[in-house]
Chain A
Amino acid sequence: MIHALLLVTAVMTQDTAAGKQVYTKWCAGCHGDNGAGDGQGARHMIPPPRDFTGAIYQIRSTPSGQLPTDADLLRSIDEGLFGTAMPGWKSRLSDRQRRDVLAYIKTFSTFFADTTQRPQPITFGNAPGGGSGAEALKVGRQFYDSIGCRKCHGDLGRGDGPSAPTLKDDAGHPIFAANLHENWRFNGGGTVEDIYHRLRTGLDGTPMPSFSDLLEQKFLTDDQLWRVAQYVRSLSPREAPVVRDVIHAPLLVKALPHSPDDSAWTAVDVSWFPLVGQIIRKERWFAPAVSGVWVKAVHTADSIALRVVWDDRSQSPDSVWLGHLGRVLNTLAGDDSAREQPALWPDQLAIQFPVSIPTGMERPYFLMGSPSAPVYQWRWSSGSRSTAVAGLARGIDRFDPLSSGGVAAQAVYDHGQWRVVFTRGLASADTASQLPFRTGRAIPVAFFAWDGSNGEHGTRMGISTWYFLALDEPVPARVFISPVLAMVLTLGLGMLVVWRAQQKTSYRRQQ
């Protein structure tokens, strides 16, 4: 009763006029003056901003087809939608402002004024259920297959299922099946509860359906659906990856691993580097499909190997994805990029170093150098997957291959993931343009990735900033010998003192 009263008070104190001011200032840029999801920023985004006029919301606690509750909407305003351009506003707007803007957003659709459309939240019960032990996950995996999750999300959950290339949202915009290995990018949150809630409610406006009917018609128990959620959660790391600045390349006494699936890689630490769209130089790219790269590095006395792994739903070039590609180019047609016809572009990756290890803080321009200060790059393309080309980039649109690059590559594509190993000798014959690798130094390194089936080629790509690669130095012999020597010396001196003292004592006695 008190609850209801509080709710009524909260609703009554919502002020749509004040909400409009907040909306115009902070929201209209993307969502548009009339809430139709057609603001200036909209043409740069996949997924596009929400169109409020239809009152179709992905993140709800209500059954598919129902309106969201105020609490549901407030959560999306507060936390944002992970993996999209929608930020959280909790720290930027006051409680009052967020409540007011929520009230204003609801005025864009007549559904909220319709008293027959009262949202009725699902009672989710005790959470989390199902258990997360090995047996529970095994059952979860079985249901993942049997209820058809793999159709879109793929056998290993990387969003590469057979139906994935055909997916579009209600407005016909391209949409990816979520990569279930990146729960920190799940729109509605990555906890097992969040996943279970999305299974129950579906993501309205997207191809993701609600699975509640399965429970109601007893095709599945609640516990079994929880296990699907537990299985999906288990695919992502325990914690979202933390970006570290330095890749440590240990020294191997064994042979250099040339293959991406060589067992030597398992013991090596991995670093995560997020990629963002290249929006600095034209043609800009606001919708990179590769969210980041996982990197390992090792070296031997004379060679280095870098293993770069990234998730990519499509093994480009693949004509199956041409429909998706057309939708991407169509959706982004209004941005400042030239309109293009879909073509069969390959997937690509570039690793970038300076031409020589810098002595001070100065590094070349991170976005592929400049004509006067080029950068040294290794480039790989799925078009000729077991080769890599070394060359100099003199700006984003100029790459000059070097005739004697000396870089080799081996690539594997497996269930929505590329794994590529680049190898090269540490020394370089051409020290003017090809970086000689040295141990014990911080070597700047950056990454670039293109998903051809997402329309990425040329300047349309995902980019990183500069990070560092450090080749661990071999431990010199003196590191082991010095302590022993010091101990021997100390012991010897001590013995000497004792011996001298004993000599003196015996001398006095004799006197």
Chain B
Amino acid sequence: MNGRIFSVVGGMFLLTVCSKGSQSNVQAAPASPPAVSAAGGTITGKIKFTGVAPKNPAIDMSEEASCKAKYPSPPTEENVVAGPANALANVFVYVKSGVPAGQTFPAPATPVVLDQNGCRYHPHVFGIMVGQGLEIQNSDPLLHNIKAIAKANRPFNVSQPSAGMKTTRTFSAPEVMVNLECNVHGWMKAFLGVRPDPFFAVSKQDGSFTITGLPPGTYTIEAWHEKFGTQTATVTIAGTETKPANFTFAAH
């Protein structure tokens, strides 16, 4: 019985990989796992915050004319990206526990792409599976170094002084979050959630997120935000239903 469900999930997962592969040129979109599917349960919700969002500091790009030229108005950091009605983007939402131990999910063959463009990371918050390739590319004609600060994984620090350079790295253990930073440009930060399963998502500009393909079970869902911390919720999935999970952070 269980085996059947898992094979359905696995098949669905493969489908996702294929559909992702066909549009891999449209890179740098947040690496969201599977699109909505008929099989398995779905958890969807909206993320909001209360209070006043702190202002994102302006970035002084005067040292890097070629980056500065890519922005019509001075760019800011992306510490808190808010949408209309206090919607909160860039929240990493994932199944923290509840997936049966011992169940394994193959890593997608398609790498997740992290682009360095205009002296910023695209995406800023994203997820990846254990063993899945992280393809780091430089679209700026200048030196970036990419430093991964990790505990469960091996950290690394590699340089890309030219546009067109590509480096692929993988992560061997789940970790929320691995911090990525550029030391040449102190404002460049990205956050990477490494998961053993495909049950994760990143909230969009309108605060929405969707995690699909969940087998029946009771799950602890955690929402992580770089400034506002973490929140958890418990959700039980019985079949192919869609269950809500909304989170509200407090801006402090």
Interface size on A, residues (CB 8 A): 34
Known A-B contacts A204-B156, A208-B157; A163 and B165 likewise in contact (beta carbons under 8 Å): no
- Tell whether A505 is near chain B: CB-to-CB under 8 Å: no
Residues in A neighbouring B183, C-beta threshold 8 A = 152, 163, 166-167, 207, 209
Residues in B neighbouring A162, C-beta threshold 8 A = 63
Q: Which residue of B63, B158, B184 contacts A213 across the interface (Cβ within 8 Å)?
A: B158
Asked whether, in the complex, the Cβ of A213 is within 8 Å of the Cβ of B159, the reply is: yes
Residues in A neighbouring B142, C-beta threshold 8 A = 148
CA gap between A204 and B165 in the complex, in Å: 21
CA gap between A147 and B144 in the complex, in Å: 9
Q: Which residue of A111, A146, A152, A209 contacts B147 across the interface (Cβ within 8 Å)?
A: A209
**CB proximity to A under 8 Å, residues B135-165:** 142-143, 145-149, 151, 154-162, 165
Asked whether, in the complex, the Cβ of A207 is within 8 Å of the Cβ of B147, the reply is: yes
Residues in A neighbouring B46, C-beta threshold 8 A = none
Residues in A neighbouring B172, C-beta threshold 8 A = 116
Which residue in chain B gives the minimum CB-CB distance to A65? Answer: B156
Asked whether, in the complex, the Cβ of B154 is within 8 Å of the Cβ of A65, the reply is: yes
Residues in A neighbouring B167, C-beta threshold 8 A = 213
- Tell whether A176 is near chain B: CB-to-CB under 8 Å: no
CB 8 Å contact bits of A26-67 with B (1 = contact, 0 = none): 000000000000000000000000000010100000001111
- Tell whether A210 is near chain B: CB-to-CB under 8 Å: yes
Nearest Cβ distance between residue A122 and chain B, in whole angstroms?
A: 13
Asked whether, in the complex, the Cβ of B165 is within 8 Å of the Cβ of A217, the reply is: yes
Q: Which residue of A116, A117, A202, A219 contacts B157 across the interface (Cβ within 8 Å)?
A: A202
Known A-B contacts A111-B154, A209-B145; A146 and B161 likewise in contact (beta carbons under 8 Å): yes
Nearest Cβ distance between residue B167 and chain A, in whole angstroms?
A: 5
Which residue in chain A gives the minimum CB-CB distance to B143? Answer: A148
Asked whether, in the complex, the Cβ of A65 is within 8 Å of the Cβ of B185, the reply is: no
**CB proximity to B under 8 Å, residues A124-183:** 146-148, 151-152, 162-163, 166-167, 170
Nearest Cβ distance between residue A435 and chain B, in whole angstroms?
A: 47
Total of A-B residue pairs, C-beta within 8 Å: 84
Which residue in chain A gives the minimum CB-CB distance to B142? Answer: A148
Asked whether, in the complex, the Cβ of B146 is within 8 Å of the Cβ of A209, the reply is: yes
Nearest Cβ distance between residue B102 and chain A, in whole angstroms?
A: 19
CA gap between A485 and B203 in the complex, in Å: 100
- Tell whether A484 is near chain B: CB-to-CB under 8 Å: no
- Tell whether B166 is near chain A: CB-to-CB under 8 Å: yes
Residues in B neighbouring A207, C-beta threshold 8 A = 145, 147, 157, 183
Known A-B contacts A148-B142, A209-B147; A65 and B186 likewise in contact (beta carbons under 8 Å): no
- Tell whether A214 is near chain B: CB-to-CB under 8 Å: yes
Nearest Cβ distance between residue B67 and chain A, in whole angstroms?
A: 13
Q: Which residue of A66, A203, A206, A214 contacts B161 across the interface (Cβ within 8 Å)?
A: A214
Interface centre among A151, A202, A208, A209 (most CB of B within 10 A): A209
Residues in B neighbouring A152, C-beta threshold 8 A = 183-184
Residues in B neighbouring A117, C-beta threshold 8 A = 154
- Tell whether A395 is near chain B: CB-to-CB under 8 Å: no
Interface centre among A64, A166, A202, A219 (most CB of B within 10 A): A64
CB 8 Å contact bits of B64-104 with A (1 = contact, 0 = none): 00000000000000000000000000000000000000000
Residues in A neighbouring B154, C-beta threshold 8 A = 65-67, 111, 117
Interface centre among B146, B147, B157, B162 (most CB of A within 10 A): B157
Asked whether, in the complex, the Cβ of B161 is within 8 Å of the Cβ of A219, the reply is: yes
**CB proximity to B under 8 Å, residues A191-235:** 202-214, 217, 219
Residues in B neighbouring A204, C-beta threshold 8 A = 155-157
Residues in B neighbouring A146, C-beta threshold 8 A = 161
Nearest Cβ distance between residue B28 and chain A, in whole angstroms?
A: 20
Known A-B contacts A54-B151, A163-B184, A213-B167; A64 and B63 likewise in contact (beta carbons under 8 Å): no
Residues in A neighbouring B55, C-beta threshold 8 A = none
Known A-B contacts A65-B156, A209-B158, A213-B167; A151 and B143 likewise in contact (beta carbons under 8 Å): yes
Interface size on B, residues (CB 8 A): 27
- Tell whether B169 is near chain A: CB-to-CB under 8 Å: yes
Which residue in chain A gives the minimum CB-CB distance to B185? Answer: A163
CB 8 Å contact bits of A55-96 with B (1 = contact, 0 = none): 010000000111100000000000000000000000000000
Which residue in chain B gives the minimum CB-CB distance to A212? Answer: B158
Which residue in chain B gives the minimum CB-CB distance to A163? Answer: B184
Nearest Cβ distance between residue B184 and chain A, in whole angstroms?
A: 5
Residues in B neighbouring A214, C-beta threshold 8 A = 159, 161-162, 165
Which residue in chain A gives the minimum CB-CB distance to B156? Answer: A65
Residues in A neighbouring B156, C-beta threshold 8 A = 64-65, 204, 210
Nearest Cβ distance between residue B219 and chain A, in whole angstroms?
A: 28
Nearest Cβ distance between residue B75 and chain A, in whole angstroms?
A: 17
Nearest Cβ distance between residue A178 and chain B, in whole angstroms?
A: 13
CA gap between A56 and B150 in the complex, in Å: 10
Residues in B neighbouring A205, C-beta threshold 8 A = 155
CA gap between A205 and B149 in the complex, in Å: 8
Residues in A neighbouring B155, C-beta threshold 8 A = 54, 56, 65, 170, 204-205
Asked whether, in the complex, the Cβ of A202 is within 8 Å of the Cβ of B158, the reply is: yes
CA gap between A385 and B161 in the complex, in Å: 38
Asked whether, in the complex, the Cβ of B160 is within 8 Å of the Cβ of A213, the reply is: yes
Residues in B neighbouring A202, C-beta threshold 8 A = 157-159
Asked whether, in the complex, the Cβ of B166 is within 8 Å of the Cβ of A170, the reply is: no
Known A-B contacts A146-B161, A162-B63, A202-B158; A65 and B169 likewise in contact (beta carbons under 8 Å): yes
Residues in A neighbouring B158, C-beta threshold 8 A = 64, 202, 209-210, 212-213
Which residue in chain A gives the minimum CB-CB distance to B159? Answer: A209
Asked whether, in the complex, the Cβ of B157 is within 8 Å of the Cβ of A147, the reply is: no
Residues in A neighbouring B162, C-beta threshold 8 A = 214, 219
Residues in B neighbouring A211, C-beta threshold 8 A = 159, 161
CA gap between A146 and B162 in the complex, in Å: 9
CA gap between A60 and B185 in the complex, in Å: 26
CA gap between A56 and B151 in the complex, in Å: 10
Nearest Cβ distance between residue B105 and chain A, in whole angstroms?
A: 19
CA gap between A416 and B145 in the complex, in Å: 23
CA gap between A203 and B63 in the complex, in Å: 25
Q: Which residue of B159, B185, B186 contacts A210 across the interface (Cβ within 8 Å)?
A: B159
Which residue in chain B gives the minimum CB-CB distance to A66? Answer: B154
Which residue in chain A gives the minimum CB-CB distance to B144? Answer: A148
Interface centre among B63, B159, B185, B186 (most CB of A within 10 A): B159
CA gap between A11 and B25 in the complex, in Å: 49
| Pairs A–B under 8 Å by Cβ, sample size 12 | A64-B157, A65-B156, A65-B157, A148-B184, A202-B157, A203-B157, A205-B155, A207-B147, A207-B157, A208-B157, A214-B162, A219-B162
Pairs A-B, 3 closest by C-beta atoms: A148-B143, A207-B183, A65-B156
Query: Besides the contacts A66-B154, A219-B161, what 7 more A-B pairs have beta carbons closer than 8 Å?
Result: A54-B151, A65-B154, A67-B154, A148-B159, A205-B155, A214-B161, A217-B166
